[in-house]
Structures are given as C-alpha cells and as structure tokens.
Amino acid sequence: MTKQPLLVIAAGGTGGHMFPAQALAEAMLAKGWRVKLSTDARGARYTGGFPHTVEIEQVPSATFARGGLLAKAMVPFRILGGVLSAAAKLRRDRPDVVVGFGGYPTIPAVSAAILLGLPRMIHEQNGVLGRVNEKFSKRVDYVACGTWPTDLPEGVEAQFVGNPVRNSVLERAGAGYIPPGDYPMSILVMGGSQGARILSDVVPPAIDALPSEIRRHIRVSHQARGEDFERVTKYYADQGISADVQEFFSDIPERMSEAQLVISRSGASSVADISVIGRPSILVPFAAATGDHQSANARGLADAGAAIVIPENLFEVDSLCEQIEIVLSNSDGALQMSRAAMSVGKPDATENLVSLVEYLASKE
C-alpha cells in the first residue's frame, strides 16, 4: 500500500497567515495528502475554518513584540523549546514537505525542517518579507511570493504564485458586479482579521456626510473591534443608516460579492479577496506595518486603477467622503474598477503553490 504523503504547514498569529495556509490545506487534502498544521495559541483561534481532517498541533513560540523585560528575556528559551518539540515530531512523522507561512509560529517547524534536512519552503503574502520569512529566505528550497513585486534580500530569488484564497472566495471569483445606481447599494468595511479603529472613527461620519441622493441608498456591513462595536452601532442607528456591525464576519466572500464598494486595510488576504472577486476599493494601509508592507500590497490594485489608496495620515472624514462619492456616483467608472481588480487577481494561486509543493516532494 502506497504511503500517504504528509504536508506540515506552519502558520499563525493572524488571519493573514492562516487564510492562505487554510487554502493550501484544503487543496492538498483533495490531492490525497495528509496535512498537519503547526501553530501556537494565537494561531489556533483561526483554525475554525480548516477541514476537520487537518491535524492541528500547538507548539511553543513567542515574539519580542509583546510583554515586559522578563517576557522578552524568555523568548529565546520558548522558541528553543518549540524547535526541539517540533524536531521530535518531524523526526517521527518524516513529512514530505514543510511549508511556512510566516509569523513567529513558523519558527519551530521550519527550523526543525532545516535541522533534519527536510524539503521546505516559505510563502510570503506581503510585498515585503516579514521578519521571520526574511531570516529563513536563504535556508529554504523555495521562496513563494503572493504579491509582486516583493522586496527581497540580496541574493534571494522567488517565484510569484499569488496569494491562495479560501474555497468560499474562489466560489465567487469574478462574481457579476452591479454598478452603483439609484437603488440599494452595499459598502463593506473591513479592517483585517482584527478590525481597525481608524475605520470605525472615520467611515461612519464619512458615509453620513454623503449627498442625500447617494446616502439614502447605502447599506453598510462594518467590521469593528469589540471596544468600538457599541459606538459604531449607535452612530449608524442615530443617523438612520442601515448597518450590520459585527466584530467578525464569517461570510466575507458573500458580502464582498454583493458590495458596490469595499473600504479596507490592505492586508495581503484582503487584497487577494478583493482582486479575485473583483470589487472597487478604497484601501487604507496600516502605517505601522513592518516595512510599510501594506502600501506595497495595495500597489498592484492602485496601479491597475482598481483601488483608491489613502495613506493613514490623510484618512479623514472629508477626504473619504469625497472618494466614496466619486466611486458611487460614476457607475461606468466603478464597473471599470471592478474589471481592473479582476485583471490583477490570481485565482490560480493555490494551484500554483500546490504545484511547487508537489515538485519539491518529487525531488526527494
């Protein structure tokens, strides 16, 4: 009986790492592979959408970005413990390929794969390599990139595969776009997997300031942090604006496919979803992102004429209101933006990544 091939995926921290990892897991299971996910406690919060047949293992990891001096002093020891734990598991399982998607939870599994000489690669979702992926970029067999161009360390070559999107997004790839007009119009507001306070501060009053002939047709789906939920909900209600405010939308693809406009951070997964489904967008890159990678992520949509990019320091009620009005008052222009978004989408990103995994496994 032929041994079932095994893929170990290492990812965690945020939905930006976990969503493309989920897409790869779904595809490899369909190919008859076993899939294990190596993550930490933070990453485990995003595993609800993974197929139940994915074996999930939590390993110790840590980051220097949080905690006091004592916590930071313990980081190397926690990481070392995670690497040793991962090495023991990989020695037992002998996976055919190990793929890291970035974030500190990637460190144990990919480090162990390097120590054991196992086939390994990393996938970078953003236009700038994250700290962890940058450290590994010269120690893996392949570097796959989701955004192009991606800023790479000197001497590192990469393959552009695109950012894998979940099956629920692929099901709505290129969904028919209804241009804005004199009928109900939907705006989707999302700030990445953890929300964004600045969107809750600026978007509601900007929508309220729209000319009445546009405002009266608006329906809003707004993702807000827990601490912002009540005030955002109350603001929309007080202004008579129809709005569904939630901390997390489990049906983002459906809401996006029904939207005339998306207002969003420019995390890699959000940009991938917007481009695959094909929707006009107003993007607000997170100013504190490492290496300003969210600006790099937004570049492809902006250059194609599919997105309006507003830097965080210029993201104000009046300027946003003006840009929303420009999109929603020009049906032909909005339709062209939707088509331009699709032109830079990579719905075959998962297939591209699967091909790399299979090729890497075949070399053994």
The radius of gyration computed from the CA coordinates of the chain, to the nearest angstrom, equals 21
* Cβ-contact 341, 280 below 8 angstroms: yes
According to DSSP, residue 285 is labeled: -
Q: What is the pLDDT of residues 194-224, one digit of tens each?
A: 668 999 999 999 999 999 999 999 999 999 9
Q: What is the pLDDT of residues 91-109, one digit of tens each?
A: 999 999 999 999 888 999 9
**Two tokens, residue 18:** 């976990």
According to DSSP, residue 64 is labeled: T
**Residue 245: what pLDDT?**
97
Q: How many CA atoms lie within 13 A of 185 on its CB side?
A: 26
Cα torsion 138, 143, 146, 149 to 10°: value is 60
For the chain, where are the alpha helices, taking DSSP H only? 15-30, 41-44, 69-93, 106-116, 131-136, 167-170, 197-208, 212-215, 229-238, 252-258, 268-277, 293-303, 317-328, 331-343, 349-362
pTM of the model: 0.86
**Residue 77: what pLDDT?**
59
**Residue 3: what pLDDT?**
81
**Residue 64: what pLDDT?**
45
CB neighbours of residue 334 within 10 Å: 23
**Residue 274: what pLDDT?**
97
Positions of the chain with pLDDT under 70: 1-2, 13, 60-78, 192-195, 364
